[in-house]
């Protein structure tokens, strides 16, 4: 059944072919020299603090590196040892489960909040501040608060659930509950920033579209479906990639709340890299893990972008 209100009508337009006009590029390049000069310091800083460590990690992954500064060439031995490491399968399986729980529990939360704030008639500024407050709380302080919330004996969460007859749960000590519990902490700390990004994107929608929808008798749900969500789709696609990458690299919350436990139930690749590099001082082996993470996340980003482009190319 078609909706009584639609924002736009689709008109068939001839497809545009993209061609690379080298003459135009050469003609415009001299006028861009000043821009590249201003951009050069930022590029140099990015190269020093981003690309140089990556290149250094690649080189270290091929060596046995000790704190004394001695580098011994071992080739791909670090990678072979990594594949035989029992923690390899556990860490990456945990990362996939973290990503699943993060998308299931937290992906739509900032979208919903941004849309609700956009639909408010009054008090938008107040709720923007309220939703952003968790972001400014230092992570260490937030972890202490959540540790009290999840405490199996005196925790607020268990006390609240106990009012409904639910027995006390071991939120951080149970392998089944630990991952969603940590994802809840991560979502609480990050959804404010993401919600502001979505809200800023919604500000680009012309107010006349919402007014026209109201005059045509569109309900709030219809306005959200036909105006807000289509405008947010490109941003949601980008935030999907960024959220998966961030969750796979998560370190602080499991390190401070569970230390990777119970057992290896919340061990992540970033935590294992930390343990091998700064506890066992095996820099070469830790670098092999780092390079593997770069390759996996880079491949994921490229594959997702290609698939997403093909799905949206004909729209």
pLDDT at 120: 82
pLDDT at 150: 94
Q: Is the pLDDT of residue 15 over 80?
A: no
pLDDT at 172: 93
Confidence of residue 7 (pLDDT cuts 50, 70, 90): very low
- Can you give the pTM of this predicted structure? 0.81
Q: Three-class SS string for the chain?
A: CCCCCCCCCCCCCCCCCCCCCHHHHHHHCHHHHHHHHHHHHHHHHHHHHHHHHHHHHHHHHCEEECCCCCEEECCCHHHHHHHHCHHHHHHHHHHHHHHHHHHHHHCCHHHHHHHHHHHCCCCHHHHHHHHHHHHHCCHHHHHHHHHHHHCCCCCHHHHHHHCCCCCCCCCCCCHHHHHHHHHHHHHHHHHHHHHHHHHHHHCCCCHHHHHHHHHCCCCHHHHHHHHHHHHHHHHHHHHHHHHHHHHHCCCHHHHHHCCCCCCCCCCCHHHHHHHHHHHCCCHHHHHHHHHHHHHHHHHHHHHHHHHHHHHHCCC
Q: Is the pLDDT of residue 17 over 60?
A: no
Confidence of residue 294 (pLDDT cuts 50, 70, 90): very high
What domains appear along the chain, each with residue ranges and CATH number?
Answer: 84-312 (1.10.3720.10)
pLDDT at 203: 86
Instruction: For residue range 231-241, list pLDDT tens digits in order.
Output: 888 899 889 99
Confidence of residue 313 (pLDDT cuts 50, 70, 90): low
Instruction: For residue range 117-147, list pLDDT tens digits in order.
Output: 888 878 778 888 888 888 888 888 999 999 9
Q: Is the pLDDT of residue 192 over 70?
A: yes
Q: Is the pLDDT of residue 206 over 90?
A: no
> pLDDT averaged over the chain?
85
Instruction: For residue range 31-47, list pLDDT tens digits in order.
Output: 678 788 888 999 999 89
Percent of the chain with pLDDT over 90: 42
């Amino acid at each position: 059944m078609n909706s009584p209100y639609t924002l736009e009508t689709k008109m068939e337009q001839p497809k545009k072919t993209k061609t690379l006009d080298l003459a135009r590029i050469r003609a415009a390049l001299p006028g861009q020299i000043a821009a590249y000069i201003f951009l050069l310091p930022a590029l140099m800083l990015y190269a020093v603090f981003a690309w140089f460590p990556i290149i250094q990690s690649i080189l270290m992954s091929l060596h046995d590196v000790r704190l004394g500064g001695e580098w011994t060439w071992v080739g791909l031995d670090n990678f072979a040892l990594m594949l035989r490491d029992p923690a390899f399968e556990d860490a990456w399986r945990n990362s996939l489960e973290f990503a699943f729980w993060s998308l299931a529990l937290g992906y739509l939360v900032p979208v919903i909040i941004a849309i609700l704030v956009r639909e408010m008639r009054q008090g938008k500024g107040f709720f923007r501040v309220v939703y952003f407050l968790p972001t400014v709380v230092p992570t260490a302080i937030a972890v202490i608060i959540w540790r009290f919330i999840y405490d199996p004996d005196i925790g607020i969460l268990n006390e609240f659930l106990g009012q409904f007859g639910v027995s006390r749960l071991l939120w951080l000590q149970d392998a089944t509950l630990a991952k969603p519990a940590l994802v809840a902490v991560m979502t609480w700390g990050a959804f404010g920033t993401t919600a502001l990004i979505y809200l800023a994107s919604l500000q680009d929608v012309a107010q006349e579209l919402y007014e026209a929808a109201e005059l045509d008798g569109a309900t709030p749900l219809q306005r959200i479906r036909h105006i807000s969500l289509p405008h947010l789709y490109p941003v949601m696609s980008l935030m999907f990639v960024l959220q998966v990458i961030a969750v796979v690299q998560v370190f602080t919350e499991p390190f401070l709340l569970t230390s990777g436990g119970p057992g290896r139930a919340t061990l992540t690749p970033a935590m294992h890299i930390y343990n091998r590099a700064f506890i066992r001082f095996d820099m070469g082996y830790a670098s092999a893990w780092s390079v593997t993470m770069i390759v996996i996340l880079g491949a994921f980003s490229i594959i997702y972008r290609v698939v997403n482009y093909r799905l949206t190319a004909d729209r």
